Structure 1
Amino acid sequence: MNKQKVVHVITNFAGVGGAEMMLSRLIQQTQHECEHIIISLMKTSEVYADALALCSSHYALGWNGLNSFSVLRKLRELLETLAPQTVQCWMYHANVLTSLATLKMKNKLQIFWGIHHSLASPKDESISTKVALAFSKFLSKKPEGIIYCAHSSLEQHQKFGFKNNNSTVIANGVVLEKYQSNLKIHEPIVIGFAGRYHPAKGYLYLFETIAKLKDQPIIFKIAGAGANLENPEIKQYFEQYNLDEKQVQLLDQVSDMPEFYRSIDAFLMTSITEGFPNVLVEAMASGLPCISTDVGDAKYIVNEQGWIVPPRNADALAQAILAYVNSSIEDKQQLKHSTRLRVEQNFGIERVSQQYLAMWRQHR
């Protein structure tokens, strides 16, 4: 069987973001169907050594903005030499530079854009992203298709002015074997939260919610870079609400997330903006019902297997947590089963990678 040659152009294959992790999983899952090649506009990282090892070749072009013209020329030369059947782009700058690099190219390449970004507030984006968005709007009809990682993202970008008749949503997939349900229910109940310390993650509402429940028999575990008492804002929340470190456990950056999920009973997300929140899928793959704000694709992911409340509403979050805490053991066990099943049926990497393959093949 002839493998399909797929070149992936990604803005930077060095950060630990949703797009990078999805690309890495996709390569590992489809190595037998495709010959994969990665062109990172900026850098590649040892973090993705496993995926890079499975590629027939990989390149890092050292793009820094100032050298855009030479990087465009390098990218064009590489794509002409490699002559792939399919080019899959990942993120705005890769979408734009690939489309510009292939303008008036003799051999027309089948190019797909990949969008892994929420566009809830375009005016708040960085200057670099605003420039990429302006170009994207102008070029959006050129690719063969656009793959969005979230339904909310597709709607936001179309409203912004992206026009492409072949636009679809393919969710980020998880490696199901990595996450196992822990059937034990802790006593007292443990509610977990994971997210770096950033306004978008809704820490303000997280602590307001915890303060409302501090007299309840509930332990909160908070994971994420910056979630420690050396952070003056976190320290201030502890003092303001008179919180106890035994009840509200700050774990900072956690390296073993599957182990973290096994140590809790339900997962809490208080974000005020998201695109496709991977943490919800990971938590549900671990058999955890989720209590989440209605942001990005949270409602689509959680479906009927948890609680969705309006963002910036600590009262609603606290009530949803109590609804879970006060449910029967049987209901809690049933939720463990149904959350895992929801992920198996919709968000496993096997299923998601088949959607990518179908997209690439339908236009060959």
Structure 2
Amino acid sequence: MGNIVSYIQENQRTFAESPFNPVDSLVFSTLCYFNYEASGLVDPSSPERVLLHDVVALADWRVLTCASWLEDAKDTRAFLHAVMASRRLRDVALAFYANERSSAVEKQFSATTFLVPGAAGADGPLACLAFRGTDGSFAGWKEDFNLCFKDVIPSQRAAAAYLSGVASAVEGPLATTGHSKGGNLAEFAALAADERAFARLAGVYNHDGPSFLDDPSPRMRDARFAALLNKTVPESSAFGMILERRADYRVVRSSALSVFQHEPFSWQVEGCDFVYQEALNPSAVFFDEALDTWLRGKTPRERERFVDTIYELFASTEAGTWAEFQENLFANTRRMLGSGTKLDAETRSFIWQTLGSLGGILKDETVKRFKPAPPTWLPRRREAYDRKGRKQ
């Protein structure tokens, strides 16, 4: 078994020879994290198409991956080498790159359209609209937290407008995809699309992205949308199960533990598909049920106050990114949840109980996964020792 890096390395067939599949959608969901404007080859204000291969071959990789989870991921360089050498991705072009951020309205939005030749047969290239997930900053995550109390966030409106714009600019089939918040945006854009654009959709891919506080469209219950939607979450998913009430997601095996399974490079691939298991791990089930019950037991105003408080507590640790926060995870957590914080007693009690119970489950899961099997010679040695002991 491998991951999306080994998948790119081993699957050298073109899209005309091997159809577009869910693993491809995760590849494009990962590629949309690149800072394409920093490459000097992509102009966000221009609809001009640029070959993905040329961007990866000519750009400074440190600049290209800066300020995203790719910056620190151990497989990033292997991923870039694989993309650059891929026959399958050789003729893929990108266009309509958008990158918008506004602290005033708590918005972080970015999307890239990948034009995939051969993926749609004689109808022309497939336009795969990939929506970027959250970057590594706390400011970027604030908009994600707002999903817990807002029916629509600014990035969702931008995603719907982006799909409408691309649909009017290109012909042929469309697909939307995204990882993390990008998966939520991929779903929302499809749900909000006008009927002509919706009829052109060949797939909607949500990779470990949260669901919705309330159904954003009656299309959520439409059999046509259900047939298009492909939602995947890792076995210990926390983020992708937030607000999820449906059961039509698939669980992917991961090589990582706990929240680190959110990273796409940890998702296991075999052949041209993911490696699936039947259900979530106990830790994910516990976290999902606890958080969902708590969220739905609060009014929108209470959830907003809680989210704002948690965000301020994260900011109070002086860490600017999740990577910096995790470098001193336990010290920062104590600082956030200590008696000197402004959390009310009920909220503090809930957080401590949740973290304590989740920690116990994660510990059991870790022991179970890494406990070595007993040596085959152990029973024989024990019997010899017992017999020897009895004779003495």
Question: TM-score band, normalised by the shorter chain?
Answer: 0.3 to 0.5
Which one has the bigger helix percentage?
2
Q: Normalising by structure 1, what TM-score?
A: 0.34
Q: Please, what TM-score do these two structures have when normalized by structure 2?
A: 0.32
